[in-house]
Amino acid sequence: MSPLSLLLFQAAVPAITYQELGTLPPAVLGERVLAARPHRPIVEVRPQPIGGLMLSDIEYLWLFERPERVEGGCVRRQWWADFRYRGARRASAADLVAARADEQVALASANGCTGAAFASYRGVERPRAFTLLAGWRAWLRSSDHGSVRCATDNPASSLCRDDRRTTAALLSSAIWHLPADLSFWLRRGDGRVITVRFDALPPRTVTIDEAVPPPA
């Protein structure tokens, strides 16, 4: 973004305070931040540390739109909003310097799109993303997981100890990205990342790797 474009972009979005970023209802914050961009109502906001760190002059937020039901499941957009403080973090206003969105998909739950587990995708069309998610769910529920190669760099991990514990570990992890190949990137509650690769749908061979993600 050129300096002039950045100034025009910042002028279109009024500065926001540290307190407002943490207290405004999601829908209100979404209107403040995304007023100049077409979007559905924001229903959830999460702060995002980058590489496990919170930088003193920068704030990163995820803003999630209200999902909608479509053929194949549910879709929503996840907005990445980057703010830069003008001075001391808690005492100054912050300017929005970037906002971008990724579409996410999920298979509908018993409650429709409410509570559905969403994943971002890239390099594939939306119908293919739904197919990948359906294949993943079918594999987890199957009694025959095929030939599985499992590896982890954490000796204390429950992953890879036996089929039951591996399945339990995968069920408790959230898919956060679907690449263009037959892969699933999962993030555990402790921040570790699991990559699961299928050779086909349904898979005959499955490769599972767990590792600490590199710093961003």
**pLDDT for position 51:** 53
**pLDDT for position 54:** 54
| pLDDT bracket for residue 31 (50, 70, 90) | very high
Its pTM stands at 0.80
- Please tell me which residue, 174 or 182, carries the higher pLDDT value: 182
Question: Residue 8 pLDDT > 60, yes or no?
Answer: no
Q: What percent of the chain has pLDDT over 70?
A: 86
**In terms of Cα–Cα distance, which of 71, 191, 203 is closest to 139?**
203
**pLDDT for position 62:** 92
| pLDDT bracket for residue 10 (50, 70, 90) | very low
**pLDDT for position 9:** 42
**pLDDT for position 216:** 42
Q: Domain ranges in the chain?
A: 3-106, 119-211
**pLDDT for position 168:** 80
Average pLDDT score over residue span 12-31: 84
Tell me the average pLDDT of the chain.
83
Average pLDDT score over residue span 204-213: 85
Own/partner contacts of 140-149, CB < 8 Å, gap of 24 or more, are 140/167, 140/170, 140/171, 142/202, 145/206, 146/202, 146/203, 146/204, 146/205, 146/206, 147/204, 147/205, 147/206, 148/205, 148/206, 148/207, 148/208, 149/205, 149/206, 149/207, 149/208
Average pLDDT score over residue span 178-205: 86
- Please tell me which residue, 52 or 137, carries the higher pLDDT value: 137
What residues form DSSP beta bridges with 75? Answer: 68, 105
Question: Residue 7 pLDDT > 50, yes or no?
Answer: no
Q: Are 126 and 137 in contact (CB under 8 A)?
A: no
